[in-house]
Amino acid sequence: MSNSKDYIQGMMKALQEGTVSVPYLLISHYAELGLSEVEMMLIIHLQAYQEKKNTEFPTLDELQSHMHAPADAVVKALQRLLAQGWISIDEGYDSIAGMQYETYNLTLLYEKLAAHLYGNDQQQRSVSSPTMTQETVSSAQAGATATGSQTEADRNMFSIFEQEFGRPLSPMELETITLWLDRDQYSEPLIKAALKEAVFSGKVHFRYIDRILLEWSRNGVRTPEEAKVYVQQYRSR
């Protein structure tokens, strides 16, 4: 009886800690986006593999083994997600291992979700407030200038990332940088160091950079100098 109780308590703790970060907005709106149940579950498994198993490119067999849907349904769902631009496959080169790699990129999915939510928001605004007086417009512009949704630090970081990525950032990517600065309290120099490390490793995507910052934070790395020492020690191991 004691062993059973200990096992259940241990399993409950594991269930509570072993979570996967899937945005609530995606869960709430995936049907409106036209995604099927199989496609949504497939997306969750892709994210789970990347977050929990550090597997950026799980095989079809691995994905199918965790799903109740028939194998051909999983294949068709993955093909549709790729063909319709919900996800993409990125290629890179790991300079340390000396080999190329592939990874599933979910950025396009979140771009589509952000665009969908923006369209809903604009539609609601037009219904509730079909016209705006010049006074209202001027007041809104003045408020945006005074407070601003983006600080100067945000804009500088956005420019640095856009220059390194060679393209404009998506709304989700802009929000990610803002969260790094405001919620996680990562310093600008540390974020730049993580970006530099990602470029050096040939894995220039936000999920990898976020993983670097989280790993550094867990190990007490707070400055670029400390990050440099940590990276050197990690590579030597």
pLDDT value at 128 more than 50: yes
Q: Which residue is associated with the tokens 């809104």?
A: 140
Q: Which residue is associated with the tokens 């509570």?
A: 16
For the chain, the domain total comes to: 2
Residue 228 shares a structural domain with residue 163: yes
Q: Supply the DSSP symbol for 150.
A: S
Residue 162 shares a structural domain with residue 115: no
Residue 160 shares a structural domain with residue 236: yes
H-run or E-run covering 103: strand 99-105
Q: In this predicted model, which residue has the larger pLDDT, 183 or 191?
A: 191
Asked, for residue 69, whether it belongs to a domain, the answer is: yes
Residue 157 shares a structural domain with residue 72: no
pLDDT in tens, 89-115: 888 877 777 788 888 999 889 888 888
Asked, for residue 14, whether it belongs to a domain, the answer is: no
Q: CATH number for the domain including 84?
A: 1.10.10.10
H-run or E-run covering 57: none
- The DSSP-derived string for 164-217 is HHTSPPPHHHHHHHHHHHHTS---HHHHHHHHHHHHHHT--SHHHHHHHHHHHH
Q: CATH number for the domain including 187?
A: 1.10.10.630
The residue range of the domain holding 97 is: 24-125
pTM for the whole thing?
Answer: 0.49
Q: Which range, of 6-15, 27-36, 84-93, 222-231, averages the lowest pLDDT?
A: 6-15
Asked, for residue 92, whether it belongs to a domain, the answer is: yes
Asked, for residue 106, whether it belongs to a domain, the answer is: yes
Q: Whose CA is closest to 38, among 73, 83, 88, 84?
A: 73
Backbone angles phi, psi at 221, to 5 degrees: -80, 120
Asked, for residue 135, whether it belongs to a domain, the answer is: no
Task: Summarize the confidence of residues 63-79 as an average pLDDT.
Answer: 90
Asked, for residue 138, whether it belongs to a domain, the answer is: no
Give the per-residue pLDDT at 210: 92
Q: Which residue is associated with the tokens 């037009």?
A: 126
Task: Summarize the confidence of residues 63-80 as an average pLDDT.
Answer: 90
Residue 105 shares a structural domain with residue 155: no
Asked, for residue 164, whether it belongs to a domain, the answer is: yes
